[in-house]
Structure 1
């Protein structure tokens, strides 16, 4: 799915679900559910690191954006160097903005897009940048937070291991497939590495 299609789909979802509070399962179904193997296969880079900057603004085409910079700890696809900085822009502002003329611009990132905060440790499955903007693969499904040695995405890992062939991974990783919610970070990264290696072959 193209970044443009995801933007359009997310905007439609906002219109249809305004005012609703959704459980993680319902939230994950607002867009195409993707398991971990699909996230790995579609990602241009799989970055683990620390978010060091989150700002917003308007680009030269007057599109609202949120700009995020991550200090890279590792990239499971080997495209980014350790300790390098990876900066990207996703569509939409962080919050509504006064335009100084009595009007307020409401173009925040659509519901379903990943949220970003300075200081958080993340694993981000990134799409390539197209036209100056990008998103995580699967939107909020493709951004994981690391906390207390465990990782979880913004829909509580709902559907993350559905459909993954347990015979294609090592015995040490198979227990992840039946673990609900947050999972051990080291095992998670190990499994990502194996899936990325398999996708490259």
Structure 2
């Protein structure tokens, strides 16, 4: 009887891990277009990354803390010139624990990477509790601004796919045919249009 219950527990644990894995993978790889990211985000912040640090919180969870000087929030929740700070899961790099051990809990693959001094547009998830948050769609929701153009880590792949029921100007249509970096002003103009359409 004891052997049978041990096997059931082992099977239940395997089943639970299999059930969780596709969900985690789906979150990491689920493509989201711009319209979906606008809908899912609590704030859409354009600004400069002021600092990026890491550490452990009061619950001993590893985090990366990012501080952004806000130049614009397309959802109107943050004032221009304000400072926005958030924490995402994982350290910047492995850390020596001082006892001969190294903690390897860095931000998982697919999470947005941050660097002080970079100009960004960040589509932020709401805080679901616990003090940690991420960009919408992970690396999909963080855009680097370089020479007046924006692109995420996926090269904007799929960003404008299946955009339904959106009243687009010719300028928007032209931008949407470009699968790579797009002009910042045009991009933010479309983002604001999508916010106002909600």
Normalised by the size of structure 2, how large is the TM-score?
0.85
Over alpha carbons, which structure has the higher Rg?
2
Q: For structure 1, which segment, 169-178 or 70-79, has the greater mean C-alpha deviation from structure 2 after superposition?
A: 169-178
Secondary structure of the residue aligned to 1:40 is: helix
The yes-or-no answer on 1:104 pairing with 2:102 is yes
| Structure-2 separation of matches of 1:164 and 1:30 | 21
1:98/1:119 CA distance change after superposition, 3 Å: same
Matches within 5 A, 1:158-177: 158-165=157-164, 168-177=167-176
Cα deviation, residue 106, structure 1: 0.2
| Structure-2 separation of matches of 1:40 and 1:194 | 10
The yes-or-no answer on 1:117 pairing with 2:115 is yes
Matches within 5 A, 1:1-201: 30-129=28-127, 130-165=129-164, 168-199=167-198
Q: For structure 1, which segment, 173-182 or 43-52, has the greater mean C-alpha deviation from structure 2 after superposition?
A: 173-182
Secondary structure of the residue aligned to 1:168 is: coil
Q: What does the per-residue CA deviation read over 1:130-182, in whole Å, with 9 as the maximum and x for residues that have no partner?
A: 21000000000000000011000011101000001376222221111110211
RMSD over aligned Cα, in angstroms? 2.0
| Structure-2 separation of matches of 1:12 and 1:173 | 33
Matched-pair contact (CA < 8 Å) for 2:46–2:71: yes
| Structure-2 separation of matches of 1:138 and 1:128 | 12
1:133/1:70 CA distance change after superposition, 3 Å: same
Secondary structure of the residue aligned to 2:85 is: strand
| Structure-1 separation of matches of 2:115 and 2:23 | 22
Normalised by the size of structure 1, how large is the TM-score?
0.84
